[in-house]
Structure 1
């Protein structure tokens, strides 16, 4: 019944706009899967257009300053351990960076609801104010609780209200190219993850921590003005009654639950290397200035991981590519990060893991769309990201606690990360089999 309702809504929207109604093939794509969840919604719009690609550019800028900024957690982890918060343990400091990720994803249901109701402009405006305000307050912070309130909570919530509409809005203009569009959108975060560490590394010794944060905040403000002016949505947004069950009903669908499970363990494995790559390199003898370069290397490589695999995924199957790239992340953590001690090995891991982990992040959105009706995409994405936020919150502190218990060794955090990746691979594989069967050549 859910699939039929979505088909009717989309066809009506198509006729209202004077466009061609969905074909028989489109109608087939909108049928429910075995558990009653729709595989995809039929298109009610042309694929792309000027406004669509303008939205992609604005969304990429928004990801540059939100997810791209938060991607630099390894840099802040190392800097706070050495300077502002050197009296605190790695695990304690990691709560600042992990909470920033947590609030960016935990607030997704609220941001998604605002997107469904008002479109992208309202949440983007709220996010702009909170994100910039939080960073400005962090620039004058000196105590642990001040960094928690400003960088972790205020800036983290602001990043969520930027990240979610920026990810969702381009998807409303495309269907066949959802993979590459999501990749181009998320690629902005890779560029942010390269440019921000290089900025910090070069201006921090010259102007100090406070003005370094303010300069970054002014750059973020400028790009967010561009994002606010360019990001639009192709959906009809309007007042909707809030119902808690809107967020809980999708959890009755087995496919959606498997997707939540897989994304949770993907995030659990992902942010341990992101948070500790710099600290572990310094621990194994790499000079601090050289270790800081690992962050832009990792994020620069992830640009290719968030675009090329997505382009391939649109042709050979998004679940197929996600499984391969998540398995590659497992192999890299166990085969390269765990035994790697030399400078070459650590840099090689950073570059290759940037590619494999970038694909995992870039492909997550199209996979959520695959098991969601488009009209519910905003809050369904919010539900999954909210659940996954607990992985981003607990992953780095768990890794730090393991390091402390093991006398400073990073062996068991590597095992924890790799095992989490492997469990996510099993979840994605199970969902792929449910949707497409055991045929390996199926485009799923």
Structure 2
């Protein structure tokens, strides 16, 4: 096929002042591309007969298939290799954030026994430092994944994680600085090296379909770890196992999960693909994208409230006079409910709404449910259970949709890591770093629970409003470009993720056409 016969003509263009977005339809000279799939490579352009496809309107190049055929069959979207990597990401999530969600167990144990002379606010800095580093270092790990350093990050995480958690078992009672260095600082850095990268890499396997589902299944590892690890820690300690041995058993389990993930997870991109992507990332443009900024700041507000139950629900149950056995399981109930929340909304987002409308629905649920903590009476097992289940579902859904939400805002696959990394760092690291200490200071040793609840409610309601404003801007842009005749077949309700994916694939195809024509 000559370069002339493969020439394409842009026939529609739309520009968004915030994003500088462009939508391009590609037509061939003979108007017969609806039955021809153009496979674009850096060195060669060829044709392959394919049946008619209704993925795009007649006369439009099926870029999704063109890009997918560059991948090996086992790596193509939905292949066995893709789902194996999802399982690896599940294990990473269980060992990292799944372990941190069990910090409520440590919080209660440290306050009652091991660090009894330390204030709740100071103890909470251990957990918040873990959270803050894990999310904050996404500013670094996200671009490193884009640059092809995923495997190096995963290996480094496994080694450092094992070293620091086993070191935690050697710390002495009432030695706050030892616990802080091993658990807060060391394990926080170790988790950061694998937590966000394990989700980002899924974006390279699932480009257009089932992305929210795949990322949702992976983040179910957080809920699974959050169910198993608190039960494991509580039962070992309550049956007379020493703190040192309890931590060692837990370290062995987490290290094993990271080792398995290191063996089965791979970055599917070729070196040539990485070279093309690297030159196209413009981080400064992210902050000129008003919609992206609104989502990040809105995510900050909602995320502030998510860490209150994760850190304090077990202590909350203790102070409300609930049986000790139930208090041990309160955190597992919360995380068990989040398991369903991480799976179901992802399916709905992929099939019907897109990730952004669905994450807003989850944010609304969090905003309403946080007030439920104010109505729980003393010794009310049913009250704590009900609030834990409902809050767990909505918080799990919100957390699982963060990555696909920010991935859906990109026009270029090479920006996925940077966009998710920056969003997680700014929208997740700061609130998780400041939320537990501030809430602990408001709580005081007299346990005034209404104070932190009101503050969390203010943050999450504000964040939800900002995300709703983003949707209003999106619909306004859609209607404006629709009137100008520049939008082809995208629906404003649906599929913001699919629209962004198609735009990304078309832009990628344009780059490869240009390379092929020049050679």
| Alignment check: 8 A CA contact 1:190 1:300 kept | yes
User: Is 1:208 equivalent to 2:259 in the alignment?
Assistant: no
Say which SS state the counterpart of residue 171 (structure 2) adopts: coil
Aligned CA distance change for structure 1 residues 282 and 49 (closer, same or farther; 3 Å): same
Superposition pairs for residues 38-437 of structure 1, below 5 Å?
Answer: 44-45=67-68, 46-142=76-172, 143-174=175-206, 175-204=208-237, 205-236=239-270, 238=274, 246-317=282-353, 318-334=355-371, 336-341=372-377, 342-372=380-410, 373-388=412-427, 389-404=429-444, 407-437=446-476
Q: Distance in 2 between matches of 1:420 and 1:209?
A: 36
User: Residue in 2 aligned with 1:33?
Assistant: none
Aligned CA distance change for structure 1 residues 226 and 241 (closer, same or farther; 3 Å): same
- TM-score for both structures, normalised by structure 2: 0.76
Shift of 1:206: 3.1
| Alignment check: 8 A CA contact 2:39 2:45 kept | no
Shift of 1:434: 2.2
Structure having the larger proportion of residues in helix: 1
User: Residue in 2 aligned with 1:36?
Assistant: none
| Alignment check: 8 A CA contact 2:203 2:416 kept | no
User: Is 1:442 equivalent to 2:493 in the alignment?
Assistant: yes
Q: Distance in 2 between matches of 1:324 and 1:279?
A: 29
| Alignment check: 8 A CA contact 1:306 1:358 kept | yes
Which is greater in Rg? 2
Q: Distance in 1 between matches of 2:433 and 2:225?
A: 22
| Alignment check: 8 A CA contact 2:40 2:66 kept | no
Q: Distance in 2 between matches of 1:417 and 1:230?
A: 39
**1:356-406 alpha-carbon deviations (Å, 9 max, x no partner):** 10000001111101112321111221111221311110011111111129x
Shift of 1:207: 2.0
Shift of 1:182: 1.0
Taking only aligned residues, the RMSD between alpha carbons, in angstroms, comes to: 3.3
User: Residue in 2 aligned with 1:37?
Assistant: none
- TM-score for both structures, normalised by structure 1: 0.88
Q: Distance in 1 between matches of 2:293 and 2:437?
A: 26
Aligned CA distance change for structure 1 residues 409 and 7 (closer, same or farther; 3 Å): farther
Aligned CA distance change for structure 1 residues 6 and 359 (closer, same or farther; 3 Å): farther
Say which SS state the counterpart of residue 426 (structure 2) adopts: helix
Shift of 1:147: 1.2
| Alignment check: 8 A CA contact 2:199 2:215 kept | yes
Task: Please list every run of 5 or more consecutive structure 1 residues that lacks an aligned counterpart in the other structure.
Answer: 30-40
Q: Distance in 2 between matches of 1:197 and 1:315?
A: 34
Shift of 1:62: 0.9
| Alignment check: 8 A CA contact 2:105 2:234 kept | no
Q: Distance in 2 between matches of 1:242 and 1:44?
A: 17
Q: Distance in 2 between matches of 1:122 and 1:344?
A: 47
**1:423-443 alpha-carbon deviations (Å, 9 max, x no partner):** 121122122222234999821
Task: Please list every run of 5 or more consecutive structure 2 residues that lacks an aligned counterpart in the other structure.
Answer: 1-14, 27-37, 69-75, 480-490, 497-519
| Alignment check: 8 A CA contact 1:114 1:122 kept | no
| Alignment check: 8 A CA contact 2:475 2:492 kept | no
Shift of 1:42: 9.4
| Alignment check: 8 A CA contact 1:183 1:307 kept | yes
Q: Distance in 2 between matches of 1:378 and 1:193?
A: 26
Larger CA deviation: 282-291 vs 189-198: 282-291
How many residues are aligned here? 431
| Alignment check: 8 A CA contact 2:278 2:414 kept | no
Say which SS state the counterpart of residue 371 (structure 1) adopts: coil
